[in-house]
């Protein structure tokens, strides 16, 4: 069974958990959902799986090549200790992948997608980028060099990813000792916050011990609620724009920098760094958390209903494609992905009030 098929089987569980969280939040008077934002986040997750048909093949192909030609040890796939150590090692490497994903602009350009939502709920967990494959593979090559078989790598990577789904919620409070050693809702809420006190903290995937060891741990404080999103707000439900926004900004600054060194630094320095000459010619306002306003264009119930219906069809189409992708030619896969991505883009435009909605719906939006 392929990883894409496993995701298809897990999707009903994800959606049921999202529905339960929404119901629980409504019952408690702490609803953390907005329909347009949730559709945007889940849609970006769908898009990441669609592009992953090629991207995951690239990642796994590079891993297999390194494992076949460069491995130091022959680790047996049937030994449980190989799996246990592999999971811990993967989580350690994930920590550094995640940390540099926040501290190096090129990597942030992909990872930012996961942080763009200004809500925080289980749908946020599904909000994944489509461009991880551009640099993600670098961080896990040590596993290949040490001889961890590709099957071990693929499974522990999936386990690490699936674990992190449940921590994206505001409905679970602090969990005592568990918070101190494992990634949990409280400390992951901190990770998604843009408050000065919280920004760039708590990178751990399963284990939080890495943050304690390397000085990036910060607990959630009752006197300072988390403010979610990114410091350069997306202000859109467009999934293509979400994936390309930061790359476009980096390209702009690199192209206009006068120094060749600065043209390179733009991509390698922390997010937000800009050459002095570029910042002078193309100024941007400094981030001010007091002025943060959630992106929330009005959408009528009719528009939301249409978006939900179309989205349901796109979700079903994606499930069919992912399940049968191994039976299709490359050209057939590309054509199907193009149609589905176009549909996701249209849903985003519709919920922004820019799609071809019925006139009556537009007039009430």
Alpha-carbon span 55 to 40, nearest angstrom: 21
Binned at pLDDT 50, 70 and 90, residue 362 comes out as: very low
Q: Residue 74: pLDDT above 90?
A: yes
Cβ-in-10-Å burial (0-12, 13-18, 19+) of 202 comes to buried
Asked whether the predicted pLDDT for residue 57 surpasses 80, the reply is no
DSSP-derived letter for residue 26 is H
Query: In the chain, pLDDT over 90 holds for what percent of residues?
Result: 85
For residue 100, the model assigns a pLDDT of 97
pLDDT single digits (tens) 129-182: 999 888 888 999 999 999 999 999 999 999 999 999 999 999 999 999 999 999
pLDDT(365) > 50: no
Q: By C-alpha distance, which of 156, 139, 220, 154 is closest to 183?
A: 220
Taking the mean position of all CA atoms in its chain, how far away is CA 265? 24
The tokens for 66 are 């390194």
**First vs last C-alpha separation in the chain:** 45
Taking only the tens place, the pLDDT of each residue in 113-132 is 999 999 999 999 999 999 98
How many angstroms separate the CA atoms of 25 and 120, rounded? 12
Q: Do the beta carbons of residue 135 and residue 111 sit within 8 Å?
A: no
| Coil, strand or helix at 297 | coil
Per-residue pLDDT band at 265 (split at 50, 70, 90)? very high
Residue 270 DSSP one-character state? P
Higher pLDDT, 134 or 274: 274
320 neighbors 313 (Cβ within 8 angstroms): no
Cα distances (angstroms) measured from residue 55 to each of 8, 129, 133, 205, 253: 17, 11, 5, 21, 27
Rounded to 5 degrees, what angle do the CA atoms 188, 191, 194 make? 140
> Residue 256 burial by CB count (10 A; 0-12/13-18/19+): exposed, middle or buried?
middle
Per-residue model confidence (pLDDT) at position 355 = 61
CA atoms of 137 and 69, how far apart (whole Å): 16
Question: In Å, how far from its chain's centre is CA 102?
Answer: 12
- What pLDDT, on a 0 to 100 scale, did the predictor assign at position 15? 96
Average pLDDT over the chain, rounded to an integer: 93
Residue-level pLDDT at 251: 98
Tokens of 71: 């491995």
Predicted local distance difference test score (pLDDT) of residue 121: 98
pLDDT of residue 132: 87
pLDDT tens readout for residues 9-29: 999 999 999 999 999 999 999
Q: ∠273-129-56 over CA atoms, to 5°?
A: 125
pLDDT per position as a tens digit, 332-358: 999 999 999 999 999 999 999 876 544
Beta bridge partners of 228: 193
Q: Alpha-carbon Rg of the chain, whole angstroms?
A: 21
Angle at 352 between CA 351 and CA 358, to 5 degrees: 60
How long is the chain? Answer: 365
Q: What is the pLDDT of residue 357?
A: 46
Find how far residue 168's CA is from the centre of its chain: 12
With 80 as the cut, is the pLDDT of residue 3 above it?
no
What integer is the mean pLDDT of 274-287?
Answer: 94
- The mean pLDDT of 189-212, rounded to a whole number, is 97
43 confidence band (pLDDT: 50, 70, 90): very high
Buried b (16+ CB within 10 A) or exposed e, 43-71: bbbbbbbbbbbebbeebbebbeebbeeeb
pLDDT band at 85 (very low <50, low <70, confident <90, very high): very high
Tokens at 116, concatenated:
């763009």
Give the list of residues 6+ apart from residue 177 with CB closer than 8 angstroms, or none. none
């Amino acid at each position: 069974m392929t990883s894409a098929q496993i995701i298809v089987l897990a999707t009903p569980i994800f959606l049921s958990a999202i529905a339960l969280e929404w119901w629980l939040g409504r019952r408690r008077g702490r609803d953390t959902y907005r329909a347009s934002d949730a559709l945007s986040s889940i849609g970006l997750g769908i898009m990441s799986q669609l592009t992953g048909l090629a991207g995951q093949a690239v990642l796994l192909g590079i891993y297999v090549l390194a494992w076949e030609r460069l491995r130091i040890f022959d680790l047996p796939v049937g030994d449980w200790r190989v799996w246990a150590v592999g999971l811990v090692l993967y989580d350690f490497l994930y920590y550094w992948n995640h940390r540099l994903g926040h501290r190096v602009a090129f990597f942030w350009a992909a990872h930012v997608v996961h942080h763009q939502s200004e809500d925080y709920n289980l749908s946020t967990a599904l909000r994944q980028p489509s461009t991880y494959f551009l640099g993600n593979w670098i961080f896990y090559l040590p596993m290949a060099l040490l001889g961890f078989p590709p099957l071990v790598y693929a499974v522990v990577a999936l386990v690490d990813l699936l674990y992190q789904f449940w921590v994206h919620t505001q409905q679970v409070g602090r969990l005592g000792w568990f918070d101190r050693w494992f990634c949990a809702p409280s400390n992951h809420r901190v990770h998604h916050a843009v408050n000065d006190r919280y920004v760039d903290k708590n990178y751990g995937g399963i284990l939080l011990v890495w943050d304690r060891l390397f000085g990036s741990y910060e607990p959630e404080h009752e006197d300072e609620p988390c403010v979610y999103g990114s410091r350069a707000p997306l202000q859109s439900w467009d999934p293509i724009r979400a994936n390309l926004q930061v790359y476009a900004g980096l390209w702009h600054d690199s192209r206009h920098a006068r120094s060749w060194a600065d043209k390179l630094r733009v991509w390698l320095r922390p997010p937000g760094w800009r050459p002095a000459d570029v910042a002078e010619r193309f100024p941007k306002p400094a981030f001010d958390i007091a002025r943060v306003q959630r992106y929330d264009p009005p959408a009528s119930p009719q528009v939301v209903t249409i978006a939900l219906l179309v989205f349901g069809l796109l979700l079903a189409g994606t499930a069919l494609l992912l399940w049968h992708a191994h039976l299709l030619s490359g050209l057939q896969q590309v054509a199907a992905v193009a149609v589905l991505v176009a549909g996701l883009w249209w849903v985003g435009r519709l919920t922004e009030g820019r799609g071809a909605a019925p006139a009556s719906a537009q007039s009430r939006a």
